[in-house]
Amino acid sequence: MNTSSNDGVSVWKRRRRSNKEIWSNEKKKKNSSKKKIQKEYPLLRYDELPEYMKDNEFILNYYRSDWPLKQAFFSLFHWHNETLNVWTHLIGFVVFVGLTITNLMHVPQVTDFFNLLTWSFPLSPGGNASHNSIMGTPKLIDLKHDSSLDMDIGAPLVMATRWPFFVFLGGSMFCLLSSSTCHLFGCHSHHLNLLLLQMDYVGITIMIITSFFPPIYYIFQCEPMWQFVYLGGITAMGAFTVITLLAPALSSGKFRSFRAFLFMAMGLFGIVPAIHAVTVNWYEPQRNGILIYEATMAVSYLTGTMFYITRIPERWKPGWFDLAGHSHQIFHCFVIMGALAHYGAALVFLEFRGQVGCQ
């Protein structure tokens, strides 16, 4: 009995030792493979880059250059100076996909967006979510009942044409996805880098154009002539911008301000229909809510553009913000905030047209 028991223990120990050796060998292989990839495709300094990749001299390290597509794709899960550029807009893309699917499944309402933005923090099992406090401070933000919006969000909703709303969502998704793709795979080759940059510029242009569709279509639904004038005008400006930016020379870093000027000119075109719309609808109760959303959008986009042009904060401390906190990442975050603010405005436009018909 003792001999049999000892033999069993010995076999178990040998198996355990064998499993440990297998795990150890696998771990060594993974580490060896990782070191091999790092050796074959190291992250470079700015001065080691080919000329076509030199875009921001204030970001000094952690560049990928001439990487195969496979390695470029898997770099999504590693740290380099494009990691957060990819993830900020990739997460934004996923958010807008979710919003699109949700709105396809039921008629979108302003209350849905309020519920998304309103957070409750229950601190006790018996607490009421709408009357909770944080560190003894009452909940101060309840957008659903914000009197500044001055609108009847409980009014019955009539089905309004929704395609302009989804045009905006589609344009936003295309822009965010093309941006993420550009930042992820732009390190592959000069040819692909140029192609993806042009796709990125087209994506930005499409997002700006499609952002005009909900407000122009719904506000001027009873005046088709103004729909045609304003939507035709922004589409023509977008076409000119795309044709201009498809010139390879304009993709270089020295034309950063010029590109920003073209995009800002498209956005500022919206001031004309905005003044027209406010004048025509001055006494509409939804006016204040729409102005809040659109002002938030404008401030977000303009602030992000200023970071993009000035390259602050990395120009103050070159090398300090290589991985996180540099201007392009901040620009991406403001783009997401602006797009979400415009989404809220689009819901108000859609609900407004569902409640108020043409007289």
The annotation places the binding site for Zn(2+) at 183, 328, 332
Which residues have a Cβ under 8 Å from the Cβ of 350 and sit 6 or more positions away? Answer: 108, 160, 162, 165, 214, 218
Sole residue written with tokens 């989804």: 166
* Binding region: 183, 328, 332
| Alpha helices (runs of H) in 190-326, residue ranges in sequence order | 190-211, 213-219, 224-245, 256-268, 271-280, 287-310
Burial (CB count within 10 angstroms: exposed 0-12, middle 13-18, buried 19+), residue 126 = exposed
Sole residue written with tokens 């893309």: 93
3-state secondary structure 89-126: HHHHHHHHHHHHHHHHHCCCCHHHHHHHHCCCCCCCCC
Residue 212 amino acid letter: F
Would you state the structure tokens that stand for residue 149, as one six-digit string? 């919006």
